[in-house]
Chain A
Amino acid sequence: MKTGITRGIALAPLLMFVSALWAADGVTEINQASVEAAGGFPYTITEPGSYLLTGNLTVPDENTSAIEVRADDVTLDLNGFAIQCADSDGVSCEPSPGSGEGVTVFFVIGENFDNGSNTVVRNGTIRGMGFAGVKIDSGLVEGIQALENGGLGIVMGEGVIADCVARENAGTGIELEKGVATANIAVLNGGDGIKVRNGVARNNTSAGNGGDGIVSEGSALILGNNVTNNSGAGLNLVSESGDVSGYTDNVINDTVTGGQAIGCNLIDGSQICPNLPFNTM
Chain B
Amino acid sequence: MRQFFRHQIAAWALTAALALTLQAADGVIEINQAIVEANGGFPYVISEPGSYTLSGNLTVPDENTNAIEVEAPDVTVDLNGFAIIGPVKCLSFNTRGNGTVSCSPEGTGIGVLASSAFPTVVRNGTVRGMGSAGVVITFGHVEGVRALENGNRGIFFEQSGVIRNCLVELNGEVGIFVLDAGAVVEHNIARFNPEGGIILAGGGVVRGNASDSIFATNSVVLENWIENELNLQDSSGYAGNVIDGVVTAGQQSQPIGCNLIGGTLVCPEGGAVQGASGP
Query: Would you list the 4 A-B pairs with minimal beta carbon distance, nearest first?
Result: A276-B271, A262-B258, A273-B276, A272-B278
Are B167's CB and A139's CB within 8 A? yes
Nearest to A246 among chain B residues (CB) is B265
Q: Choose the segment among B8-16, B104-112, B131-139, B154-162 that binds chain A (4+ C-beta atoms closer than 8 Å).
A: B8-16
Say whether B257 contacts A245, CB under 8 Å: no
Known contacts A200-B240, A202-B240, A278-B265: A160-B210 contact under CB 8 Å = yes
Q: How far is the CA of A110 from the CA of B113 in the complex (A)?
A: 45
- Are B267 and A280 touching (Cβ within 8 A)? yes
Compute how far the CA of A267 lies from the CA of B276 in the bound complex, rounded to whole angstroms.
14
Q: Could you say which interface size class chain B belongs to?
A: 35 or more
Query: Is B210 within 8 A of A246, CB to CB?
Result: no
**Is A67's CB within 8 Å of the partner chain B?**
no
Q: Which residue, of B258, B266, B271, has the highest number of chain A Cβ atoms within 10 A?
A: B258
Query: Size of chain A's interface in residues, with CB distance under 8 A?
Result: 61
Give chain B residues whose Cβ lies under 8 Å from the Cβ of A159: 189, 210
- Measured CA separation A27–B124 after assembly (Å): 12
- Indicate whether A244 reaches chain B with its CB closer than 8 angstroms: yes
Q: Is residue B279 contacting chain A, with contact meaning CB distance below 8 A?
A: yes
B187 touches A182 (CB 8 A): yes
For B209, the closest partner residue in chain A by CB is A180
Which chain A residues border B167 with CB–CB below 8 Å? 118, 120, 139-140
Chain B residues lying within 8 Å of A264, measured Cβ to Cβ, are: 272-273, 276, 278
- 8 Å CB contacts to B: which residues of A47-83? 49-50, 52, 73, 75, 77
Kindly report which residue of chain B lies nearest to residue A241, judged by CB atoms: B263
Is A15 part of the binding interface, using a Cβ–Cβ cutoff of 8 Å? yes
Evaluate contact between B242 and A158: CB separation under 8 angstroms.
Answer: no
Known interface pairs A75-B126, A245-B260. Does A27 touch B80 (Cβ–Cβ under 8 Å)? yes
Query: Is the beta-carbon distance between B276 and A272 smaller than 8 angstroms?
Result: yes
Complex Cα–Cα for A259 and B263 (A) = 12
Interface residue? A39 (CB, 8 A): no
How many angstroms from the CA of A35 to the CA of B257 in the assembled complex? 51
Residues of chain B from 221 to 250 with CB closer than 8 A to chain A in the complex: 223-225, 227, 240-242, 244, 247, 249
